[in-house]
Amino acid sequence: MTNQKLLCGQVLTYSGDPFVGAWQDAVHVNSSGGVLIRDGVIEAIGNAATLQATHPDAQVTQYGEKLILPGFVDAHVHYPQTGIIASWGKRLIDWLNTYTFPEEMRFGDPAYAAEIAGRYLDLTLSNGTTTVCSYATIHPESVDAIFEAALARGQRVVAGKTCMDRNAPDGLRDTAQSAYDDSLALIEKWHGVERAHYAITPRFSPTSTVEQLETLGALWAKRPEVLMQTHLSEQVDEIEWAKGMYPDARDYLDTYEAYGLLGERGIYGHSIHMEPREMDRLSEVGGAVVHCPTSNTFIGSGLFDMAAMKARSIPVGLATDTGGGSSFSMLRTMAAAYEIAQLRGVALHASQLLWLATAGSARSLHLQDHIGSLKVGNDADLCILDLASTPAIAQRSTRATDVWEAIFPTLMMGDDRAIADVWVQGQLINKVQQEP
Ligand code: GUN
Ligand code: ZN
């Protein structure tokens, strides 16, 4: 019995970044392509007929006109906010105090954390997302829960304990010392175990004291191989609040830089209202930003400036920002990214949107040599898209005169019905029916 598998269909590959130069030079769709998988890894990519002839023992799955692409990579989420997604009527600070903090308080209970972590990963898998980079809560148990749920599903996941020692309610604050100790213990417990990656996670500068930011900066200096994630310049009120709390800082980014929390492995969520110095500095250092378009409209934050980031070659990931974002779907997220770019006068191409949701996000997490693109040696984490999943989409895609016109309606109008199959490490995932 062979352990080789061959998936045949329309195969999407990139030879470069479609934001650099002409997108046509960076992307290729092979309409009769094949992806050969062995031991959970991509072994070969090519024409289906050739691969079938040279590997006659491989188990074949025929996907016809469906699109075979990497599993989506969601570069900024809060899995503990699954239960409060789509909460009405608040902007960032009130939204945190009203909905988020009371819910996050519940994650000291390991059973509750495990229930939500499992539910979250099943929901995102059914939307074609195979890797997420998640904030947990201040409770170490909440980090164990997401890594254990990922381990059970064979998934590559990035996560970290959220650190907050001020401006959060009783029961949801740690201290500078406990944030350091707990984060270090979690790095030692989880980082590099199977497919687990740790990110040091100060929530944002308004919820940390200077002492806590300094302590976490020292931890990152001691363990520079891990990632560091936080929030940056999301809402105008928040920026004023942060600057008021750190009067010596030149700008919001400086509230991190001053304490050792700016670096190449740093991931800065939202990054909407950026001053030129902040973008220039990020570009110099090589840190990544993450675009969270459904969140940025849902909480009323603002319009991310993709062109300014790309002009400076700043790595950009794409994310749902569950539960500030209003969807678990990276398809819906690509649609929102398209709409926001349109409001800024830029029409992102389908190849660029798909790149952001896969290779771009993987790059922002420094995981491009494992996930986010169909290349030999990468993990066989795949998503199969049905380009005619609803009557509304089908009636549009059948008029298409080329493959991009066939793909675009699914990016704009698709949801979990468009996800035909999901593969994680070369294993087909059975869709989990969620209890209502
Ligand atoms: N800024 C600080 N915490 C959060 C959060 O949980 N969600 C969002 N969208 N922004 C934040
Ligand atoms: Zn966030």
**E runs forming strands in 171-323:** 196-202, 227-232, 266-270, 288-291, 316-318
**E runs forming strands in 145-234:** 157-160, 162-163, 196-202, 227-232
Q: Taking the domains of the chain in order of start, what are their residue ranges?
A: 4-70+373-430, 72-364
Tokens, residue 373 = 């693109």
Backbone angles phi, psi at 154, to 5 degrees: 70, 20
Q: Say what the pLDDT of residue 15 is.
A: 96
Kindly report the protein residue whose alpha carbon is nearest to atom 11 of ligand 1: 231
Interatomic CA distance for residues 325 and 349, integer angstroms: 22
- Which burial class, exposed, middle or buried, applies to 1 when counting CB atoms under 10 A from its CB (0-12, 13-18, 19+)? exposed
Domain 72-364's class? Answer: alpha beta
Q: Say what the pLDDT of residue 423 is.
A: 98
Q: Say what the pLDDT of residue 436 is.
A: 60
CATH number of 4-70+373-430: 2.30.40.10
Interatomic CA distance for residues 9 and 170, integer angstroms: 54
Q: Say what the pLDDT of residue 435 is.
A: 63
β-strand pairing of 162-163 with 196-202: parallel
Nearest bound ligand to the CA of residue 100: 1
Kindly report the protein residue whose alpha carbon is nearest to atom 1 of ligand 1: 231
Ligand 1 nearest atom to the CA of residue 135, by list position = 6
> Pocket residues for ligand 1 (CB within 6 Å)?
78, 92, 96, 100, 203-204, 231, 234, 295, 299, 321, 324
**E runs forming strands in 246-379:** 266-270, 288-291, 316-318
Q: Say what the pLDDT of residue 378 is.
A: 98
Q: Say what the pLDDT of residue 303 is.
A: 98
- Span between the terminal Cα atoms of the chain, in Å: 40
Give the pLDDT of the chain (436 residues) as one tens digit per residue.
Answer: 468 999 999 999 999 999 999 999 999 999 999 999 999 999 999 999 999 999 999 999 999 999 999 999 999 999 999 999 999 999 999 999 999 999 999 999 999 999 999 999 999 999 999 999 999 999 999 999 999 999 999 999 999 999 999 999 999 999 999 999 999 999 999 999 999 999 999 999 999 999 999 999 999 999 999 999 999 999 999 999 999 999 999 999 999 999 999 999 999 999 999 999 999 999 999 999 999 999 999 999 999 999 999 999 999 999 999 999 999 999 999 999 999 999 999 999 999 999 999 999 999 999 999 999 999 999 999 999 999 999 999 999 999 999 999 999 999 999 999 999 999 999 999 876 666 6
Backbone angles phi, psi at 385, to 5 degrees: -100, 130
Cis bond before residue 21 (omega within 30° of 0): no
Nearest bound ligand to the CA of residue 162: 1
Q: Say what the pLDDT of residue 3 is.
A: 86
Ligand 1 nearest atom to the CA of residue 78, by list position = 6
Nearest bound ligand to the CA of residue 81: 1
Per the CB < 8 A criterion, the answer to whether 172 and 105 are in contact is: yes
Per the CB < 8 A criterion, the answer to whether 413 and 420 are in contact is: no
Interatomic CA distance for residues 84 and 23, integer angstroms: 38
